[in-house]
Amino acid sequence: MSLDMMRGLRKQLSAWISLVLCVQLSLSSTLSFAQPKTAPAKPGATATPPPQQQPQDLIAKGQMLFEDQQYEDSIQTLSAALLRPSNTKEQKVEIYRLLALNYITLGRKDEADNAVRGLLVAEPDYQLPANESPRFRDFFKESRAKWEAEGRPGFVKEKPIEHPVVLRHGSPSSAESDKPIDLRAKLEDRSGRTGTVKLYYRTGSRGEFTETLAEVEGENVRAQIPASAVKPPLMDYYFEVHDITGAMIASRGDSQAPLRIAVPDGEGSGWVLPLAIGGGILGAAAIVGGLALAGVFKSSAPPAGRGTSTVTVNVGEAGLRF
């Protein structure tokens, strides 16, 4: 090959290479302009996924799946939603409602009945909307009837705060024989639980108590022991407060430790003092008489011209001086 021919081939090859490089550069420039530019992410920022990748609320997703007739997937989604401890009462009602609709549609009656019962435990007065399918409404009605007939199992009604009931009463120290004893008391009942207040009384410290109803007007309680029961030496009595069911909710005294009123004998000497000894009441005159027989008294003769004397009675560590 001659030298001129070789030079011609080199020039043609150089021209082809230059053409290929120009085309490549042109394509690269076109692609770079076609791609959108994205701003660099800020340090610490979290990339936001596209809307279709964001997680949906489980209840809304369960509703969507039910409407798309994907019943099994809806049940799984709603069952997962039911496990959340943060569910409100309204959310629980909606979850159980959708579960019941899924189960009814699939013909799984036992599971549907359990879902209805779960809904009623959360909201006993719940009713399906009037525009709901009769198929669903009839099933809810039957499940409610069975649940109520069984005593609403699972439903726990919140009890209101009950304040204690207190009957305040001060017992009189003594009463006159054969005269009625009027008794007064104050009733503290902030919850309004009182049904009746009863008075129990007896003559003496033994025997059965007689029962009678006291009058209650607001906080004021009035009762009376009749004159025929007021006899020496004493009266026992106590009060009981009952609610509307008859259960006792408060008392003042009781049959084992009743309140006590002394009833002096009107025919005795005027200086008789009632003394409580071992739960009973004994007149001082009787004590003095008994001790005198036992030789306990020490007396001193009065000086001439004086008509008084001093008697000392020693009973244990206590002494009475007359």
Residues 246 and 308 in one domain: no
Residues 255 and 291 in one domain: no
Residues 60 and 144 in one domain: yes
Is residue 108 in some structural domain? yes
Residues 73 and 120 in one domain: yes
Residues linked to residue 210 through DSSP beta bridges, in sequence order: 201
Residues 251 and 304 in one domain: no
Is residue 86 in some structural domain? yes
Query: How many distinct structural domains can be found in the chain?
Result: 3
Q: Which of 219, 239, 262 is the last residue of a domain?
A: 262
Is residue 210 in some structural domain? yes
Is residue 154 in some structural domain? no
**Residue 92: domain span:** 56-149
Is residue 220 in some structural domain? yes
Mean pLDDT in runs of 10 for the chain (322 residues)?
A: 62 62 55 50 50 65 93 93 90 94 94 93 90 92 92 77 90 94 95 94 95 95 96 96 93 95 74 43 44 41 48 42 40
Residues linked to residue 234 through DSSP beta bridges, in sequence order: 262
Note whether 236 and 201 are within 8 A (CB).
yes
DSSP class per residue in 51-114 = GGGSPPPHHHHHHHHHHTT-HHHHHHHHHHHHT-TT--HHHHHHHHHHHHHHHHHHT-HHHHHH
Is residue 128 in some structural domain? yes
Residues 117 and 188 in one domain: no
Is residue 207 in some structural domain? yes
Is residue 20 in some structural domain? no
pLDDT of residue 1: 56
Note whether 183 and 238 are within 8 A (CB).
no
Residues 70 and 111 in one domain: yes
Indicate whether this model's pTM tops 0.75.
Answer: no
DSSP class per residue in 120-151 = HHH-TT----TTS-HHHHHHHHHHHHHHHHTT
Start-to-end CA distance of the chain, whole Å, equals 168
**The tokens 């499940």 sit on which residue?**
143
For the domain that residue 89 is a member of, what is the CATH number? 1.25.40.10
Note whether 262 and 173 are within 8 A (CB).
yes
Rounded CA-CA distance 106/91 in Å is: 23
Which whole-number Å values give the CA distances from 199 to 14, 86, 210, 247, 256, in the listed order?
129, 53, 8, 15, 15
Residues 200 and 239 in one domain: yes
pLDDT of residue 298: 43
